[in-house]
Structure 1
Amino acid sequence: MPHTLAKNLSLIAAIDLGSNSFHMVVAKAHHTEIRILERLGEKVQLAAGIDEARMLSEEAMVRGLECLKRFAQLINGMPAGAVRIVGTNALREARNRNEFIQRAETILGHPVEVISGREEARLIYLGVSHTLADTPGKRLVADIGGGSTEFIIGQRFEPLLRESLQMGCVSFTQRYFRDGKITPARYAQAYTAARLELMSIENALHRLTWDEAIGSSGTIRAIGAAIKAAGLGNGEVNAEGLAWVKRKLFKLGEADKIDFDGVKPDRRAIFPAGMAILEAIFDALELQRMDHCDGALREGVLFDLLGRHHHEDVRERTLNSLMERYHVDQGQAARVERKALHAFDQVAKAWGLEEGNWRDLLGWAAKIHEIGLDIAHYHYHKHGAYLIEHSDLSGFSREDQQMMALLVRGHRRNIPKDKFAELGDEGVKLLRLCVLLRFAILFHHIRGTQQMPKVQLQASDNSLDVAFPAGWLEQNQLTQADFANEAEWLARVNFVLSVR
C-alpha cells in the first residue's frame, strides 16, 4: 500500500507498532519544527502472541487491532503521507504478518511499513537527537524494546553505528519468567543470554567510544524511577541502583509483588527481563550511568517524515551512497531515470499510478538498476536485486526494498511474473513500472553517445504504444531490433508493446 506525501503538511502523526506497546503521536508541523499535540500508548504485547512456528495468534492480533481502532479516530481525515506507521520486531518475526498488516491498514486508512532493525535504530537516534540538547560529543543510545534492543552511537544528528539485537523484555519474559517467578537462577539465565547477544557488537561499540549513554525506552525509564524511589538517583540508571533493584527483585520472588514507585502495574511482568538485559548492557559496555530520554522511535518517525517534506530525504543519500559503493555509471543512471519518469508522467493516469509513491519507486530503481554490474556482468540484474533486498538501506521499509529489488530483477530478459503476481493488485502496478523501466533502459541502450528523439507514449490495461518520429527507427536499426526483441519478452507476461 504505497503512499505519497501530502503537499501541505500541518498535522502529522506517527504510529509505532512495537512488540510490547503501540504508541501514537500527533504533532503540528511548522517548517522544520514539530509541536506535539497528543500522545497515546497502550500495552498490546504483540510479541507474546508469537508461537514457536513464528505465527502471530489471533488473540494477539485482536489486541493490536482493538488498540488501532482507538488510534484511528485521531487520524481520521488526515491526508495520505501525513501519517507514517512503522512495525518493528514482532512484525519482522511473524510469518503471517501480512494478515495483520492488511487488517490494520483497513482500520487506519494508511500504509503500514515493517522496518529493519537498523532502520529502527536510525529512527530512534533521530528522535533522541532532536529531543536532547545539541552537544558536540558522541552519544551511545540504547532502546530495550519488547522483541529487540537497538544500539546507536552518534554525533549530533548523525548516527555513526546502528545495531539491533534479538533480545527484548517481552521475548525474554516468555523465555525466562513466563510464570512470573523470579529466582537468581532464572535471572542469571536471562542475563547470560543477553551477554551472549552483546558479544557480537560490544567491540565495535567500544572502538567508537562515547561521551554519554542515553536510554530511550519505557524499560529504562521504569528502572530509573525505581532507583530514584530508593534514594539512589534522580531518575538516571546507575550501577549501584541496578544492584539494589536486583536484590529487591530476588526478595520479592514474584513479578506480581513488584511495588517500586514509578513502575506501572502493566509493566511488572516484563520488569525482571528488562532488568537482566539492562544489567548485561551495563556490564558489557562498562557503563556507570545511563540517562533517560523521552524521544524515541515515534518522534524519529515524525522528524523523518518532516525531512522528506523539506527535501532532506535520507533515502536519496542512501541511494547515492549505494551508487558510489558499487561504481554505478551515474550519467547512464541519470539518463534512464529522466526517461523513465518522463514516460511515467505520460501514462500514470491511464495506468492508475497517480496515487501512491509509484513514481518514487520507479526513479529509485532507475538510479540503481546497474549496481549488480560491480559483482559480475552475467546475471547482473539478479545480483543487483539481491543486494537491494538484503542491504540495510536507511530510510526504506522492507516493502520498499522488496519492490525495488523486483523492479531491478525484472529490468532485463525474463520477467519473474510469479513474483509480481504474489503482490496482487500492487503487483499489476509494479509490473507496469517494470515495463517503463525496461523501456527507458532500451531507449538509452547506446549510453548517451547519440541524441535521442522525443517519443509519445499511450497506455491501456496491458499495452503500451510508443511512437517515434517518422522514419527514425528505420535509420536506427539497433534501437528497432531492441524494441522488437522487447515486444517478445513482454508477450511472455501477456503484455503488448507496439513501437512505430
Structure 2
Amino acid sequence: MTGARALAAIDVGTNSVHMVIARPVSGGSPEILARERVPVRLGTGGDDMKLLMPDAVERAVAALVEFRHIADAHEAEVVAVATSAVREADNQGQFLRRVHDEARITVEIVSGMEEARLIHLGAMSAVPIAGRPHLIIDIGGGSTELIVGDHAPAALARSLKLGHIRLTDRFFDGGVIADGAVKACRRHIKSFVAHVAQEARDIGFDVAVGCSGTIAAVAALCAARRGETLRTVANATIERADLNEVVADLISRSTPGERAAVPGLDPARRDVIVAGAILLRQLFKALGIESLVVSTGALREGLLLDRFNRRDRSRDDGLHHLSDLRRSGVLALARSYHEDLIHAEHATDLALELFDETQEAHGLTIADSELLEAAGLLHNIGRFVANSSHHKHSYYLIRNSERLAGFSENELELIALVARYHRKSRPVSSHREYTALSKPDRRRVRVLAGLLRVGIALDRTYRRAVKRVHASVSEGAVTIDVETAAGADVDIELFTARRSASLLADALGRTVDFRVVETSPERQRRNHPANGPGNATPRGLRA
C-alpha cells in the first residue's frame, strides 16, 4: 500500500470543523500528514438546532475552502461528513450547496448511529482496548455518543441530543450561570441518560474511554489542578475525584470572565465548559465510572479507517455485495420484520444483473448498485405493518431504523425511496422527499427503482422460474433476454415485467422489451457455481 493516495477526512461538527490527512501504510497505522481545526460554532439552540446562522455558515465555508487548498497540496482525496448541527438544520441544503460550489467538497450527513460507529472505530485506533469490554463517550456540541462493546461492531451504540453547546444555549445563555440553572441542567441530563446508562451497565465494561474537545479540555483542567501540564492529552486520565473538584470550581464562577482565571482552561471554551463538564460528571455518576482514559482518535479518524477499508475491498470482479457491516445491518432489519429473504434475494440478484447489463445506458457506479441491493432486500418489510401501501411503510421503516450502520443519511434516503417506488406510483414532483433530492439523486432513484421493479416482476410467482437475465443496449432500445429452466412457464413473470418496465424505460430514455431464452443443459452446467469462479457466482446477500 506504500505510495497509495492520501485521504483527507473532514468532520463538520457543531462547534468546530476538523480535518486529518493521512496516507495508508501497509501493515501499520496510517501516516498522519496534517491536522487542522477551526472553531465555527455552526449549531445553536437549546432544543432542535433548526437553523445554521449566516455568520456561522460563512465561518464554516471559509474553513472548508482552506481545507480544500491544504488537501490539494497533499494531493489527497477528500471525504467529509456533517453531524448534529447540519443534520437538524432546515437550511442544510443551502449550506451543503455552498460548500460544494465554493470548496468543491461534497459533505455527507451521517445519522447519530453512524456517527457513533465511526467514533468507535476512531477511538479504538488510538487506545488499546480492542478485545476488552469498553465504554466510549464522545461529547460534541450538539450530541453525545455512547458506545459499549469489546470489538466492532459495538454491542450498544446510542446518540443523545445532549451536547455542550445545546446545553449552554438552554441553561447557561452566554455562558452565565443563573440561579437554579445547574440543578435544572443536571435534571435534564439525567432524564436523557438514565435508560441508556442502564443498558450500558447491563452489558458491562472494564474500561471507559473519552474522546472530543470537551473531554480533552476537562482532562487538561484535571491535570492543572494536580499541578501538571499535559504535553498531549493522548491516554491522559480523568479521575472521578478530580472531575468533581473541577466541576465545583467551574460552577462557582458564574461568568465566562470569572473563568479566565481557571488554570488550564482554553479561552475559547470559557462559555461552554460548564455545560460540558456537568454533562461528563453526570455520565460518570450514571454509568458508575471511576476513571476515564482520553483517546485522540474520534470521528474523523474512524472515517479515515472506514474509507481506507472500503478502498481495500476490490470490486473489480463485478460481483455485487455489501460490506460485512452493511450486510449484517440490512439482513438484521429484514429478518426483524419477517421478510421473505428467498424472494427478496432472487429479485435483487435479477435487478443487479440488469444493473450490470444496462450500465452503458445508465452510467451509474458500483456504489449505486449497493444502494439497489439494500433497497431490494428491504423492499417488502413494510408488509409487517400492513399489506396495503406497504411500499410507503417500507420507506418509513428504513428511514427510521437504527440498524443500518455504514450508510450516510443521503444513502439511507435513497435506499428508502428506491424501496418506496418498487411498486404503485412512480416518483413525481408532489412527493416532498423525492423533490428534496438533488437532480442527480432523483435520476438515481428513478433508474434503481426501475431496475428493482423489473427484478421483482421477474420473480412474480416466487418460483425462481427466471434464472438469469441478459440485456443488449442500443441507442433507442433495451432488449432483456430472460433465461429460464427448460420447460418453465414464465408467462406471468413476462406479463408483469412488461407492465412494470415503464419507469425503467423512461429513466433510460429507451424502450424496454423482453424475450425468453431457454437455458440449455450445457449452459446450466457452465453457469453452476460449482464449476469454477466467475461462472454465475450468486450475487447479493445470503443469509
Residue 362 (structure 1) shift: 1.6
From 410, 421, 446, the equivalent of 1:431 is 446
Secondary structure, aligned partner of 1:91: helix
Q: 1:411–1:434: 8 Å Cα contact kept in structure 2?
A: yes
Question: Is 1:123–1:304's contact at 8 Å kept on the other side of the alignment?
Answer: yes
Match of 2:250 in 1: 249
One-letter code aligned to 1:299: E
**1:56 aligns to 2:58 (yes or no):** no
Question: SS where residue 46 of structure 1 aligns?
Answer: coil
Say whether residues 1:414 and 2:425 are aligned partners.
yes
Stretch of structure 1 that moved more, 274-283 or 132-141: 132-141
Flag the 1:164–1:49 CA change in 2: closer, same or farther, 3 A.
closer
Report the secondary structure of 1:395's partner residue: coil
Moved more, 126-135 or 210-219: 126-135
Q: TM-score, normalised by structure 2?
A: 0.82
Q: Report the Cα distance in structure 1 between the residues aligned to 2:48 and 2:397, rounded to whole angstroms.
A: 30
Shifted more, 269-278 versus 200-209: the winner is 200-209
Confirm or deny that 1:478 pairs with 2:476.
Answer: no
**Rounded Cα–Cα distance in structure 2 between residues aligned with 1:143 and 1:402:** 26
> Secondary structure at 1:113's aligned position in 2?
strand
Whether the aligned pair in 2 keeps the contact of 1:114 and 1:399 (CA below 8 Å) is yes
- Which of 174, 197, 205 is 1:202 aligned to? 197
Displacement of 1:399: 1.0
Say whether the 8 Å CA contact 1:146–1:169 is kept in structure 2: yes
Helix, strand or coil at the partner of 1:38: strand
Aligned length: 490
Match of 2:362 in 1: 351
- Residues 334-343 or 212-221, more deviating: 334-343
Aligned equivalents of 2:292 and 2:330: distance in 1? 35
The alpha-carbon distance between structure 1 residues 454 and 21, as it changes in their structure 2 partners (threshold 3 A), is: closer
8 Å Cα contact 2:189-2:282 kept in structure 1: yes
Task: Work out the CA distance in 2 between the residues paired with 1:474 and 1:226.
Answer: 75
Instruction: Give the superposition deviation at 1:385.
Output: 1.9
Point out the more displaced range, 57-66 or 471-480.
Answer: 471-480
CA apart distance, 1:21: 0.8
Alignment partner for residue 7 of structure 2, among 8, 12, 16?
Answer: 12
CA contact (8 A) 1:473 1:480 kept: no
Give the structure 2 partner of residue 117 of structure 1: 112
Q: CA deviation at 1:151?
A: 0.8
Q: What is the identity, as a one-letter code, of the residue corresponding to 1:45?
A: R
Deviation at 1:491, TM superposition (A): 8.6
* In structure 1, distance between residues paired with 2:331 and 2:268: 45
Task: Please state whether the residue corresponding to 1:179 is helix, strand or coil.
Answer: helix
Change (3 A) 1:205 1:455: closer
TM-superposition CA deviations, 1:87-144 (whole Å, max 9, x none): 1110121111111111112234343111111221111111111211145431111111
Match of 2:299 in 1: 297
DSSP-derived class of the 1:478 partner: helix
Aligned position for 1:140: 135
**1:307-346 map, 5 Å:** 307-311=309-313, 313-346=324-357
Q: CA deviation at 1:205?
A: 1.8
Q: Secondary structure at the match of 1:48?
A: coil
Q: Which residue of 1 aligns with 2:541?
A: none
- Cα offset, 1:303, TM superposition: 1.3
Structure 1 partner of 2:479: 466
Is 1:168 aligned with 2:178?
no
Verify the 8 A CA contact 1:347 1:459 in the aligned structure 2.
no
Q: CA deviation at 1:395?
A: 0.6
Cα distance per residue 1:259-307 (max 9 Å; x no partner): 3343221122211111111121122223222221111111111111122
Distance (whole Å) between structure 1 residues aligned to residue 189 and residue 103 of structure 2: 36
Find 1:271's aligned residue among 254, 270, 273.
273
Q: Describe the shift of the 1:229–1:495 C-alpha distance in structure 2 as closer, same or farther (beyond 3 A).
A: same
Instruction: State the alpha-carbon separation in 2 of the partners of residues 288 and 232 from structure 1.
Output: 21
Matched, 1:389 2:385: no
Q: Which of residues 429, 434, 440 is equivalent to 2:455? A: 440
Q: Which has the higher contact order (CA 8 A, sep 6+)?
A: 1
1:3 counterpart residue number: none
Cα distance change of structure 1 residues 402 and 251 upon mapping to structure 2, 3 Å threshold = closer
Amino acid at match of 1:442: A
TM-score if structure 1 supplies the norm length?
0.88
Cα 1:397–1:173 change in 2 (3 A) is same
Residue of structure 2 in register with 1:69 after alignment: 65
* Structure 2: gaps of 5 or more residues: 231-235, 314-322, 515-543
- 1:5 corresponds to which residue? none
* Greater Cα shift, 89-98 or 111-120: 111-120
Alignment RMSD (CA, Å): 3.2
CA distance change for structure 1 residues 442 and 286 in 2, over 3 Å: closer, same or farther? same
1:160-219 residue CA offsets vs partner (Å, 9 max, x unmatched):
111111111111122222233235632222222212221232221221221121111111
